[in-house]
Amino acid sequence: MDKKKCFNTEALKRLDQLNDKVSELAKAQHKAGIGFDYVTAAELAELLGESLRTIYGRVYNKQIPFYKPGGKILLFKIEEVEKWIKSGRHSSLKEIKQNV
């Protein structure tokens, strides 16, 4: 009985964490859907499923397009991030064979 209670408590805690992440993602998607063209580093990390540290690393290495108005806040234009993602597309083996 004690194990079951512990499992339920842990499961509820994880569900709460998941719910928080889904809420954050929904907010970012809502912003994008109503005309907000830019997202913060934290929102971008959530959208891409990457860590904030990875996003900062991409910025430091100039791998991803970004804006830093006033030298403080880090912003990413959603349209440019989509183009950046698409530019990294690799052909499938089937496509390569068809082009040979």
Q: What is the pTM of this model?
A: 0.59
Q: Which two tokens stand for residue 23?
A: 């809420």
pLDDT of amino acid 21: 80
Q: How far is CA 8 from CA 4, 14, 20, in A?
A: 6, 10, 18
Which residue is it, tokens 């990294």?
Answer: 88
Mean pLDDT, the chain, as a whole number?
A: 84
pLDDT of amino acid 71: 86
Q: What percentage of the chain reaches a pLDDT higher than 70?
A: 85
For 13-64, write each residue's pLDDT tens digit.
Answer: 888 888 788 777 777 776 666 556 888 999 899 889 999 999 999 999 999 9
Chain CA centroid to CA 92, Å: 24
Nearest CA to 5 out of 13, 18, 16 is that of 13
